[in-house]
């Protein structure tokens, strides 16, 4: 038998989807620390998490998604603070004071207490293109959680609220189970929060 | 000495009911003779009128018809042949076989054109046929005997005998019937007789003399025929001096010689079994059908005995196909097959399957490609139904259904392939697929054009459907005359038009304008003989077309009978190996592109897309729909 | 009240993953078995339909390298090809198998799995009765059109010989609409009718248990909803998904139950005649149901519940339920008449074979059916309708 | 049964069930080429004499390597290491786990260490460390419906770090689950009631939560049918082996259903009150189940309405108009709790305030409710609940459940779009 008739098939890539997801993860990552400052509910949720806690949201398999090619050319602090999208991870760190920091997409040299991972690129796309809500995605086994589990639900709640801030209502309604009624804050406050989050997220 | 003279043909058939031990004379309809010519065609028609579809081939409801042709007994060249048709226990569909043994002549000169057997005898019986009718005689003493001694016994009572061996008695599905040194080989007719408990049939013969109606014309045509045969290099040269094994070398060269269960198409040692080598080694002499002018049957001295030289198919399938190249060993096995009465083609195919199945762990036998050990024992086991031989005795289709290995069971519709690999001659592939009795090489011998004469391109599919139909019709008609198929070389290739044209021109014409080329081919010698014997007026060309149409009728009738047994497009296929596996001997690893050829073939034949003859076609051919 | 059997064994090994982007989960599933390099076994028709391209795309952006796509399978799984594929598997250093396709493809993959896991050259010892012992390599089945569900069970038919062993269960079945999409109405109808028969017979078999019922129930339900509309529309992906799911569930249930009459007859007749089982089932199942009707065999209520749903079940009178379920079954079979017309070949089955087939079926039924019973059903099944 | 846009389903453990099934274990083990099992169990099981029943049933067909009955209620890795050491010194080649969730998880852990070598389970923490098939593991569940015999994760605590370690792997799945009614025959009435209601809750939640699929539905549906048909009868006649077998089957089926479709807020609350107030799981389940149904009523009324068929039978189902069915389901479950309360002479609590410990002290005080409500965020079951479930919602539910009063449906927070299964 001539085995060359049946060549090995190396996995290809879907570059556009990668870039889209990298930008989404970067945006959400940058928005969370800001939201934690301005939104009391998020703040409360983060307070439940232990101090000196590192968590990340990523797309599996990790080896298939190395950092973007230009990462090496950038100065270290840009990479460290996640000032540009670099890859398909979103790393958050809660320091000893309970303050939340976005640490970019570079997992090297970090130890994670909680790691939430989309099982594959398409699963992440389903969620980030809002075809599936986060709970449905969870129900459909789109992601796996590793590490300190009880915090995962907290983190997902945070993600839900951040989505509500970042997205227009018509999309956000699809993404979360229950669109909040904002009992606890006046409507103008909501919009101001939203603007702050946008501004801070997109400025360095 | 001869009491009676029959002018033309007797039109009498003898129908015997074995269950009730009675017989009756059946008059053969003149129109039937006109439409079906005699021989195979008439035999099929007689069977068609009597056989219910779906009966057990080995049950009492199956019938077997032995039918002689118009030519037999008149002294026409190479006419010493008769045909048998029945429903085959190997394939479950119609089987027809042609044989050059003395039984045909004896039957015809006992005044019968055909013999129909019905029912089933209670105890082993043999039949003695004379012009009056038939005597049923107890065969207790013969049952269990080999074909040689049984035939010797029977021949005490007549000029020609049919006899089965232990294989037939044990219902080996590919048991054959022996007459003289020749056999009604394929389709397991021996088992049909065995199931009917008929050990043998002997015809007294020599009771009537047969003369043609138009003697003058007959003698004239005969002379032309002789001349053609003497001119043709195949019929007067290679076949005459080297037998059918003259095919070995050209087959090997064309890559159509089956090697190792059809995994290869040629072999370096093939020359050892070629007709040329053997003629020299075994000092061969003629041992043929009677009457014959080609003289392809030979005998020689092998291991100190006078033996019939195995024919090409036997050589090919028990030889290279098992990777054996020792003609003496093959001859031993051939003798064993004659002794037990088994078809060597099916046996060879089944043994090759068994060897490959053993190699692949599907069955456990001693058999191994290239090794002679255990083969003779296995042949005995098959004939006697011992051990796994009992399963192999059912043929490769049945065995592969039970044990697996269907992908390398080389059969079509249950009948094993003859010794030509169609990957080197795709038209032959189509012919194997569409042949009525299964993978039969005699249905339309297209490979001669493709692989031997260079008159068609072996790998092109263009117009192959036309060639296959043309030759199927011609051969069906020939088998209905009934005349030796090898006369085709002479009849078709010797007329001046084709003789004087260069081969490459013929190839070009044939491949691109096949209908024109083939319609210009002159086949008139055959119909002229038939017409002269019956005293009918012969109209040039038109009568030839009528003759070809008769052939078409015979072929379609057989097809129609098969479709009544459940045959359809799904069965018109080739072994997977030929369709999907390339061969190492072939750099391009070619396979047979069957599907496109088959579709065109159906259209040309007037079959529907499922391969069933349409009502229109049947009506056109005058076949009564049942 | 559901009767509780005194003893039963039940196993439904494979994980079923079905739905959008199911295929994309294969790499992480393989990772669960520490496999990184699967060998894909598939058939020429799948390649011709372009499904392998779709399939390969599902592995984009993963770390899984496909060790090769062995696409030589056609309508027969034999040891010759299994050896070739095993050779390829070893040459490439693969560590898992993916069967992309139906019947013979999966059978072949199972055979290859035995060859590579036990380092054998042929299956001789297993044909002689030795059961392959766990663990074999992980085998993932991705069903394509005319998937009859048996692929996802513990049985394999290689070289016409059936081998049944728990080790042969595939690890997972991934049902994805990109692959299950129908190739022709006929194939879908065949899938459907086989699934229908299997689910029905699993539920009504003597040795059934609540687990079997629980598997067969959704199968029947999906079929009742989708068979009639779905079969003529091979491009309707949701119907194809439903049928593939139903087939998987039905076979999973069925392989835990003793085989029913329709199945035994179809199998034996298929072997004798070479006609596709789906086509045979289309004529045998109605005959079996007719027999049940004639004999007034009690049919348990669950069948109607599965076929007709809660509302209709609740409003039907208790004693009628068995009969109505048989009626619905017949209507379902009838609804396939157009897509799966009664077969000419079937009416031409050699009558002398029937006896042999009936004997074989009765012999395989462990005494549950008699030869005359089988023969009656067979004769009725291949009776050409007067027209 | 609509096919969801995506689902997965896995119940790959071989199940054998029947009245004398324990006797089959030796031959089943022999098929797996094992003959010297170690029995792992806990003190509670040992005290009821169930281990003796198992040992007797195993007979002399195999040698028992060791009976280890030291598994505590909250098992940790040190127990696992300890048992694994004994396993090795006694030369065992298989494990039979007799008990509930904790025992089964421990047995899974022991199997990892015993099969793969090493001294401690800590070596195998995390994903992807268990890479090959382990030794045969047979589980004989004694409490109904933990479902942990069907799941492919072992949860074992590490008290030093105060975390629960997860060992997810296909290879740690048990090889055989044995359902034998003798294991539950001696269960006291109150426990029978609460374990059956536990299974009932698994089934109901599996039926309406987000990960539902046709297969889990079907298993859940049958489990509910079996329980509602048999539970009260078994309570009246505790020796009814057929009834016990039906309940045991029901809980196994409920286990299959919920391990595939996940659970919702009932479990969320149950886990939380279990962790904070040590309310037994089954008890909590039976109390919260009606509230779970009520709370999600506006999201999946049709689906909950279907449960009436399983609970009450086709006649009542047909007699109830479609719009009233969901409420009727809730009433039915409440009535069932009431019936159980009566049948167990008050031992089966109907609301949180009735839950007492052995000494008759109340386990959940009203003042603890806000703390419980806050703690629900730490449990994953809230994610698969059809309606969003937040501490404020939890507090409403909890206070109603404490009192035993029905939920005011108007007060349930609503919002968001339709649920896609």
Based on the domain organization, do B241 and B372 belong to the same domain?
yes
Residues belonging to chain A: 204
Query: How does pLDDT run across B247-263, given as a tens digit for each residue?
Result: 999 999 999 999 999 99
Tell me which chain D residue has its CA closest to the CA of residue A158.
D377
Question: How far apart are the C-alpha atoms of B124 and B199, rounded to whole Å?
Answer: 6
Tell me which chain D residue has its CA closest to the CA of residue A114.
D126
Instruction: Please state whether at least 3 CB pairs lie below 8 Å between chains C and B.
Output: yes
Tokens linked to D310: 């399983």
Domain CATH code at residue B514? 1.10.599.10
Q: Which residue has the higher pLDDT, B589 or B317?
A: B317
Question: How far apart are the C-alpha atoms of C193 and C213, rounded to whole Å?
Answer: 18
**How many other C-beta atoms can be found within 10 angstroms of the C-beta atom of residue B155?**
17
Query: Are the CB atoms for C284 and C381 separated by under 8 Å?
Result: yes
Q: Does residue C213 belong to the interface with chain A, where contact is any CB pair within 8 Å? A: no
Give the pLDDT confidence score for residue D155 in this predicted structure.
Answer: 80
Contacts of C83 in chain B (CB under 8 A): 360
- Contact assignment for D215 to C15 by CB distance below 8 Å: no
**How many other C-beta atoms can be found within 10 angstroms of the C-beta atom of residue A72?**
8
Contacts of A152 in chain D (CB under 8 A): 380
Give the pLDDT confidence score for residue C140 in this predicted structure.
Answer: 96
Q: How far does the CA of residue C4 sit from the closest CA of chain D (Å)? A: 7
Instruction: Please state whether at least 3 CB pairs lie below 8 Å between chains B and D.
Output: no
Last residue of a domain, one of B211, B242, B269: B211
* Residue B327 falls inside a structural domain: yes
- Contact assignment for D242 to C4 by CB distance below 8 Å: yes
**Strand ranges in chain A using DSSP code E only, listed in sequence order:** 53-59, 89-94, 100-102, 114-118, 143-147
Q: Does residue C75 belong to the interface with chain A, where contact is any CB pair within 8 Å? A: no
Question: How far apart are the C-alpha atoms of B364 and C159, rounded to whole Å?
Answer: 15
Query: How does pLDDT run across D180-239, given as a tens digit for each residue?
Result: 988 888 888 888 898 899 999 999 999 998 888 999 999 999 999 999 999 999 999 988
Picking from A114, A139, A144 by the largest number of D CB atoms within 10 A of its own CB, the best residue to mutate is: A139
Based on the domain organization, do B238 and B196 belong to the same domain?
no
Q: Does residue B402 belong to the interface with chain C, where contact is any CB pair within 8 Å? A: yes
Q: How far does the CA of residue C67 sit from the closest CA of chain B (Å)? A: 22
Based on the domain organization, do B23 and B110 belong to the same domain?
yes
Contacts of A121 in chain C (CB under 8 A): 24, 60-61
* Residue B228 falls inside a structural domain: no
Picking from B396, B399, B408, B566 by the largest number of C CB atoms within 10 A of its own CB, the best residue to mutate is: B566
Q: Which of B314-328, D126-140, D389-403 has the lowest mean pLDDT?
A: D126-140
Question: How far apart are the C-alpha atoms of B617 and C10, rounded to whole Å?
Answer: 58
D14-183: CATH, from 2.60.450.10, 2.50.20.10, 3.40.50.1970, 3.40.50.1110: 3.40.50.1970
- Contact assignment for D420 to A136 by CB distance below 8 Å: yes
Give the pLDDT confidence score for residue C206 in this predicted structure.
Answer: 80
Contacts of B568 in chain C (CB under 8 A): 344-345
pLDDT band at B1 (very low <50, low <70, confident <90, very high): very low
Low-confidence ranges of chain C (pLDDT < 70): 1-3, 134, 385-387
**CA-CA distances (angstroms) from residue B271 to B277, B319, B327, B328, D297?**
7, 11, 11, 14, 89
Query: Are the CB atoms for C245 and C228 separated by under 8 Å?
Result: no
Across the beta sheet with B305-308, the strand order is B285-286, B298-302, B305-308
Write the residue in D6, D377, D387 that is nearest to A140 by C-beta.
D6
The CA angle D305-D310-D313, to the nearest 5 degrees, is: 100
Domain CATH code at residue B383? 1.10.569.10
Residue with tokens 């709370």: D295
Q: How far does the CA of residue C371 sit from the closest CA of chain B (Å)? A: 19
Picking from C61, C62, C63 by the largest number of A CB atoms within 10 A of its own CB, the best residue to mutate is: C61
Query: How does pLDDT run across D1-33, given as a tens digit for each residue?
Result: 788 889 989 888 899 999 889 999 999 998 888
Q: How far does the CA of residue A117 sit from the closest CA of chain C (Å)? A: 11
Q: Is the pLDDT of residue B338 over 70?
A: yes
Query: Are the CB atoms for C207 and C361 separated by under 8 Å?
Result: no
Give the pLDDT confidence score for residue D191 in this predicted structure.
Answer: 87
Instruction: Please state whether at least 3 CB pairs lie below 8 Å between chains A and C.
Output: yes
| Three-state secondary-structure class, residue B361 | coil
Compute mean pLDDT per 10 residues along chain A, 204 residues long, and list them.
89 92 92 90 87 91 86 85 87 91 88 90 91 85 81 87 86 81 69 85 70
- Contact assignment for B362 to C273 by CB distance below 8 Å: no
Q: What is the mean pLDDT of residues D86-92?
A: 92
Based on the domain organization, do B173 and B29 belong to the same domain?
yes
- Contact assignment for C56 to A121 by CB distance below 8 Å: no
CB proximity list for D374: less than 8 A, separation 6 or greater:
D391
Q: Do β-strands C68-73 and C38-43 pair in parallel, antiparallel, or remain unpaired? A: parallel
Q: Is the pLDDT of residue B592 over 90?
A: yes
**Domains held by chain B: number:** 3
Q: How far does the CA of residue B229 sit from the closest CA of chain C (Å)? A: 45
- Contact assignment for D253 to C218 by CB distance below 8 Å: no
Write the residue in A45, A146, A181 that is nearest to D127 by C-beta.
A146
Q: How far does the CA of residue C155 sit from the closest CA of chain A (Å)? A: 27
DSSP of B157-176: G-SEEEE--HHHHTT-TTB-
Q: Is the pLDDT of residue B22 over 70?
A: yes
Give the pLDDT confidence score for residue D160 in this predicted structure.
Answer: 81
Give the pLDDT confidence score for residue B454 in this predicted structure.
Answer: 86
**CA-CA distances (angstroms) from residue D198 to C375, D194, D260?**
51, 6, 16
Q: What is the model's pTM?
A: 0.92
Q: Which of B323-332, C277-286, D141-150 has the lowest mean pLDDT?
A: D141-150
Query: Are the CB atoms for D307 and D417 separated by under 8 Å?
Result: no
Give the pLDDT confidence score for residue D119 in this predicted structure.
Answer: 84
Query: Are the CB atoms for A43 and A11 separated by under 8 Å?
Result: no
Domain locations in chain D as residue ranges: 14-183, 189-412
Q: Which residue has the higher pLDDT, B461 or D413?
A: B461
**CA-CA distances (angstroms) from residue C113 to B403, C97, C117, C252, D238?**
20, 7, 6, 20, 49
Interface of A with C in 14-73 (CB under 8 A): 14, 17-18, 60-61, 63-65
Question: How far apart are the C-alpha atoms of B229 and B237, rounded to whole Å?
Answer: 10
Domain CATH code at residue B199? 3.60.9.10
Write the residue in B402, B408, B576 that is nearest to C74 by C-beta.
B576
Question: How far apart are the C-alpha atoms of B471 and B518, rounded to whole Å?
Answer: 9
Question: How far apart are the C-alpha atoms of B187 and B270, rounded to whole Å?
Answer: 28
- Cis peptide bond upstream of A69, omega within 30: no
Phi, psi of A154 (to 5 degrees): -60, -45
Instruction: Please state whether at least 3 CB pairs lie below 8 Å between chains C and D.
Output: yes
Last residue of a domain, one of B409, B432, B466: B409
Residue pairs spanning A and D at CB distance below 8 A:
71
Across the beta sheet with A114-118, the strand order is A100-102, A89-94, A53-59, A114-118, A143-147
Give the pLDDT confidence score for residue D341 in this predicted structure.
Answer: 94
Last residue of a domain, one of B157, B177, B211: B211
Q: How many CA atoms lie within 13 A of A60 on its CB side?
A: 21
Contacts of C175 in chain A (CB under 8 A): none
State whether the Cα torsion D274-D279-D283-D288 is positive or negative: negative
D189-412: CATH, from 3.40.50.300, 1.20.1090.10, 1.10.1380.10, 3.40.140.10: 1.20.1090.10
By residue range, what is the domain housing residue B435?
Answer: 422-620
The CA angle B55-B61-B66, to the nearest 5 degrees, is: 105
First to last CA, chain C: 45
Give the pLDDT confidence score for residue D48 in this predicted structure.
Answer: 87
CB proximity list for C317: less than 8 A, separation 6 or greater:
none
Give the pLDDT confidence score for residue A136 in this predicted structure.
Answer: 85
Q: Does residue B580 belong to the interface with chain C, where contact is any CB pair within 8 Å? A: yes
Using the CB atoms, write b or e for A36-63: b if 16+ within 10 Å: bebbebbeebbeebeeebbbbbbbbbee
Query: How does pLDDT run across B60-81, given as a tens digit for each residue?
Result: 999 999 999 999 999 899 999 9
Contacts of D127 in chain A (CB under 8 A): 146
Based on the domain organization, do B39 and B185 belong to the same domain?
yes
Based on the domain organization, do B390 and B479 belong to the same domain?
no
Residues belonging to chain D: 421
pLDDT band at D144 (very low <50, low <70, confident <90, very high): low
pLDDT-above-90 percentage for chain B: 84
Query: Are the CB atoms for D141 and D21 separated by under 8 Å?
Result: no
Q: Does residue C218 belong to the interface with chain A, where contact is any CB pair within 8 Å? A: no
Domain locations in chain C as residue ranges: 15-180, 185-381
Based on the domain organization, do B117 and B62 belong to the same domain?
yes
Query: How does pLDDT run across B163-179, given as a tens digit for each residue?
Result: 999 999 999 999 999 99
Give the pLDDT confidence score for residue D416 in this predicted structure.
Answer: 61
CATH level 3 topology of C15-180: Rossmann fold (3.40.50)
Tell me which chain C residue has its CA closest to the CA of residue B564.
C348
Query: Are the CB atoms for C186 and C339 separated by under 8 Å?
Result: yes
Give the pLDDT confidence score for residue B588 in this predicted structure.
Answer: 86
* Residue B552 falls inside a structural domain: yes
Query: Are the CB atoms for B476 and B547 separated by under 8 Å?
Result: no
**CA-CA distances (angstroms) from residue B497 to B183, C214, C291, D99, D159?**
36, 79, 69, 97, 104
Give the pLDDT confidence score for residue B322 in this predicted structure.
Answer: 96
Question: How far apart are the C-alpha atoms of A72 and A86, rounded to whole Å?
Answer: 10
Query: Are the CB atoms for B116 and B50 separated by under 8 Å?
Result: yes
ipTM summary value: 0.91
Ramachandran sector of residue B528 (left: φ over 0; alpha: ψ -120 to 50; beta: rest): alpha
C185-381: CATH, from 1.20.120.80, 3.40.50.11400, 1.20.1090.10, 3.40.50.720: 1.20.1090.10
Q: How far does the CA of residue A176 sit from the closest CA of chain D (Å)? A: 7
Query: How does pLDDT run across C307-335, given as a tens digit for each residue?
Result: 999 989 988 888 888 899 999 999 999 99
């Amino acid at each position: 038998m001539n085995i060359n008739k049946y060549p090995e098939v190396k996995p290809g890539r879907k570059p556009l989807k990668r870039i889209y997801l990298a930008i989404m993860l970067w945006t959400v990552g940058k928005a969370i620390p800001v939201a934690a400052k301005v939104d009391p509910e998020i703040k409360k949720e983060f307070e439940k998490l232990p101090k000196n806690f590192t968590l990340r949201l990523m797309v599996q398999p990790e080896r298939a998604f190395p950092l973007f090619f230009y990462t090496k050319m950038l100065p270290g602090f840009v990479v460290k603070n996640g000032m540009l999208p670099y890859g398909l991870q979103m790393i958050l760190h809660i320091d000893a004071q309970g303050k939340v920091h976005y640490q970019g997409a570079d997992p090297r040299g970090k130890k994670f207490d909680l790691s939430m991972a989309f099982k594959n690129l398409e699963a992440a796309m389903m969620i980030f293109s809002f075809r599936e809500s986060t709970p449905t995605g969870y129900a459909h086994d789109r992601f796996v959680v590793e590490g300190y589990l009880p915090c995962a639900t907290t983190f997902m709640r945070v993600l839900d609220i951040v989505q509500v801030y970042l997205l227009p209502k018509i999309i956000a309604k699809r993404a979360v189970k229950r669109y909040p009624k904002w009992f606890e804050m006046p409507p103008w406050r909501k919009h101001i929060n939203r603007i702050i989050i946008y501004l801070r997220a997109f400025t360095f | 000495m001869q009491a009676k003279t029959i002018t033309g043909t007797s039109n009498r058939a003898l129908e015997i009911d074995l269950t009730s031990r009675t017989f009756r004379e059946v008059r053969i309809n003149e129109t039937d003779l006109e439409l079906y010519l005699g021989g195979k065609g008439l035999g099929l028609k007689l069977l068609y009128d009597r056989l219910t579809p779906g009966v057990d081939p080995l049950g009492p409801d199956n019938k077997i018809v032995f039918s002689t042709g118009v030519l037999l007994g008149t002294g026409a060249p190479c006419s010493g042949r008769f045909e048998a048709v029945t429903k085959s226990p190997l394939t479950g569909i119609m089987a027809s076989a042609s044989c050059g043994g003395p039984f045909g002549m004896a039957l015809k000169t006992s005044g019968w054109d055909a013999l129909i057997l019905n029912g089933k005898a209670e105890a082993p019986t043999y039949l003695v046929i004379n012009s009056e009718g038939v005597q049923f005689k107890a065969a207790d003493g013969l049952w269990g005997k080999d074909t040689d001694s049984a035939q010797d016994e029977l021949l005490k009572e007549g000029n020609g005998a049919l006899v089965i061996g232990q294989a037939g008695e044990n219902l080996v599905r590919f048991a054959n019937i022996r007459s003289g040194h020749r056999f009604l080989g394929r389709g397991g007719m021996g088992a049909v007789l065995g199931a009917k408990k008929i050990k043998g049939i002997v015809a007294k013969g020599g009771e009537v003399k047969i003369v043609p109606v138009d003697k003058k014309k007959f003698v004239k045509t005969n002379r032309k025929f002789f001349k053609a045969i003497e001119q043709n290099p195949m019929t007067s040269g290679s076949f005459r001096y080297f037998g059918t094994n003259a095919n070995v070398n050209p087959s090997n060269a064309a890559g159509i010689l089956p090697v190792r269960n059809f995994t290869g198409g040629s072999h370096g040692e093939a020359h050892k079994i070629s007709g040329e080598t053997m003629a020299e080694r075994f000092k061969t002499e003629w041992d043929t059908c009677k009457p014959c002018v080609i003289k392809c049957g030979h005998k020689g001295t092998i291991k100190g005995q006078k033996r019939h030289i195995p024919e090409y198919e036997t050589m090919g399938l028990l030889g290279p196909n098992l990777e054996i190249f020792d003609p003496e060993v093959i001859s031993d096995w051939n003798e064993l097959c004659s002794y037990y009465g088994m078809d060597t083609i099916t046996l060879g195919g089944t043994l090759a399957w068994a060897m490959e199945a053993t190699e692949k762990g599907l069955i456990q036998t001693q058999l191994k490609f290239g090794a002679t050990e255990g083969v003779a024992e296995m042949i005995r086991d098959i004939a006697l139904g011992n051990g796994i031989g009992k399963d192999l005795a059912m043929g490769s289709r049945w065995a592969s259904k039970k044990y697996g290995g269907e992908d390398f069971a080389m059969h079509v519709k249950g009948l094993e392939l003859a010794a030509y690999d169609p990957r080197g001659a795709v038209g032959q592939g189509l012919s194997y697929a569409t042949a009525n009795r299964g993978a039969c090489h005699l249905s339309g011998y297209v490979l001669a054009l493709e692989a031997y004469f260079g008159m068609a391109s072996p790998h092109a599919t263009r117009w192959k459907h036309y060639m296959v139909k043309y030759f199927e019709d011609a051969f069906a008609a020939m088998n209905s005359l009934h005349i030796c198929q090898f006369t085709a070389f002479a009849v078709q290739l010797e007329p001046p038009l084709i003789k004087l044209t260069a081969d490459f021109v013929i190839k070009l014409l044939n491949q691109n304008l096949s209908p024109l080329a083939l319609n210009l081919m002159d086949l008139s010698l055959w119909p002229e003989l038939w017409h002269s014997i019956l005293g009918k007026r012969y109209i040039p060309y038109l009568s030839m077309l009528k003759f070809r149409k008769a052939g078409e009728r015979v072929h379609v009738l057989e097809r129609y009978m098969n479709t009544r047994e459940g045959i359809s497009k799904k069965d018109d296929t080739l072994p997977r190996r030929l369709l999907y596996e390339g061969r190492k001997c072939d750099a391009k690893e070619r396979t047979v592109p069957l599907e496109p050829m088959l579709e065109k073939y159906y259209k040309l034949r007037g079959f529907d897309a499922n391969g069933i003859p349409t009502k229109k076609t049947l009506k056109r051919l005058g076949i009564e729909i049942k | 009240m559901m009767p509780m059997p005194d003893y039963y064994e039940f196993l439904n090994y494979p994980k079923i993953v079905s739905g959008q982007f199911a295929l994309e989960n294969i790499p992480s599933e393989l990772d669960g078995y520490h496999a990184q390099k699967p060998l894909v076994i598939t058939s020429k028709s799948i390649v011709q339909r372009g499904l392998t391209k779709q399939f390969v795309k599902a592995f984009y952006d993963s770390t899984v390298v496909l060790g090769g796509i062995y696409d030589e399978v056609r309508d027969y799984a034999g040891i010759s090809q299994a050896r070739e594929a095993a050779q390829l598997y070893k040459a490439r250093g693969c560590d898992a198998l993916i069967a992309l396709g139906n019947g013979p493809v999966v059978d072949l993959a199972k055979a290859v799995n035995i060859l590579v896991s036990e380092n054998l050259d042929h299956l001789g010892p297993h044909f002689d009765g030795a059961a392959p012992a766990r663990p074999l390599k992980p085998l993932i089945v991705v069903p394509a059109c005319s998937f009859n569900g048996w692929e996802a069970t513990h049985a394999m038919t290689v070289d016409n010989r059936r081998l049944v062993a728990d080790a042969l269960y595939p690890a997972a079945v991934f049902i994805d609409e990109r692959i299950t999409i129908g190739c022709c109405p006929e194939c879908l109808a065949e899938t459907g009718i086989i699934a229908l028969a299997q689910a029905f017979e699993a539920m009504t078999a003597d040795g059934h248990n609540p687990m079997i019922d629980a598997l067969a129930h959704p199968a029947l339900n999906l079929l009742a909803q989708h068979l009639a509309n779905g079969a003529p529309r091979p491009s309707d992906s949701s119907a194809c998904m439903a049928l593939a799911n139903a087939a998987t569930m039905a076979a999973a249930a069925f392989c835990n139950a003793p085989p029913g009459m329709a199945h035994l007859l179809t199998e034996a007749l298929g072997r004798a005649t070479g006609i596709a089982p789906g086509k045979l089932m289309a004529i045998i199942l109605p005959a079996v149901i007719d027999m049940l009707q004639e004999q007034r065999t009690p049919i348990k209520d669950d069948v109607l519940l599965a076929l007709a749903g809660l509302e209709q079940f609740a409003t039907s009178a208790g004693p009628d339920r068995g009969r109505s379920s048989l009626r619905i079954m017949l209507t379902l079979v009838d609804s396939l008449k157009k897509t799966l017309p009664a077969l000419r070949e079937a009416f031409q089955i050699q009558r002398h074979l029937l006896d042999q087939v009936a004997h074989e079926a009765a012999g395989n039924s462990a005494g549950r059916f008699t030869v005359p019973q089988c023969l009656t059903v067979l004769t009725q099944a291949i009776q050409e309708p007067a027209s | 049964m609509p096919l969801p846009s995506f689902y997965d389903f896995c119940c790959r453990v071989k199940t054998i069930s029947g009245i004398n099934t324990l006797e089959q274990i030796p031959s089943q083990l022999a098929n797996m080429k094992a003959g010297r099992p170690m029995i792992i169990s806990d003190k509670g099981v040992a005290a009821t004499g169930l281990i003796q029943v198992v040992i007797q049933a195993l007979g002399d067909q195999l040698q028992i390597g060791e009976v280890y009955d030291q598994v505590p209620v909250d098992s940790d890795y040190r127990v696992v290491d300890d048992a694994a050491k004994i396993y090795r010194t006694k030369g065992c080649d298989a494990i039979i786990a007799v008990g509930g969730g904790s025992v089964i998880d421990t047995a899974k852990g022991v199997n990892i260490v015993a099969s793969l070598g090493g001294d401690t389970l800590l070596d195998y923490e995390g994903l992807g460390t268990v890479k090959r098939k382990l030794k045969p593991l047979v589980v004989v569940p004694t409490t109904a419906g933990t479902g942990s015999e069907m799941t492919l994760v072992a949860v074992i605590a590490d008290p030093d770090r105060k975390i629960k370690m997860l060992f997810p792997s296909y290879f740690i799945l048990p090889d055989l689950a044995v359902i034998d009614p003798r294991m539950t025959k001696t269960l006291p009435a109150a426990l029978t009631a609460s374990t059956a209601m536990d299974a009932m809750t698994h089934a109901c939640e599996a039926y309406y939560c987000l990960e539902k699929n046709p297969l889990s539905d079907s298993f859940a549906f049958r489990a509910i049918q079996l329980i509602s048909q048999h539970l009260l009868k078994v309570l009246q006649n505790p020796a009814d082996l057929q009834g016990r077998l039906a309940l045991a089957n029901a809980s196994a089926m409920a286990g299959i259903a919920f391990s595939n479709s996940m659970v919702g807020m009932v479990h969320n609350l149950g886990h939380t009150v279990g962790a904070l107030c040590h309310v037994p799981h089954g008890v909590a389940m039976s109390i919260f189940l009606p509230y779970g149904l009520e709370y999600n009523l506006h999201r999946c009324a049709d689906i909950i309405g279907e449960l009436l068929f399983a609970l009450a039978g086709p006649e009542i189902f047909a007699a109830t108009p479609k719009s009233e069915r969901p409420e009727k389901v809730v009433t039915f479950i409440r009535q069932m709790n009431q019936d159980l309360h009566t049948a167990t002479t008050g031992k089966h609590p109907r609301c949180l305030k009735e839950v007492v410990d052995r000494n008759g002290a109340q386990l959940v005080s009203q003042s603890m409710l806000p703390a419980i409500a806050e703690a629900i965020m730490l449990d994953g079951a809230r994610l698969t609940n059809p309606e969003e479930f937040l501490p404020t919602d939890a507090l409403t539910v909890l206070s109603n459940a404490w009192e035993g009063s029905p939920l005011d449906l108007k007060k349930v927070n609503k919002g968001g779009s339709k649920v896609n299964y």
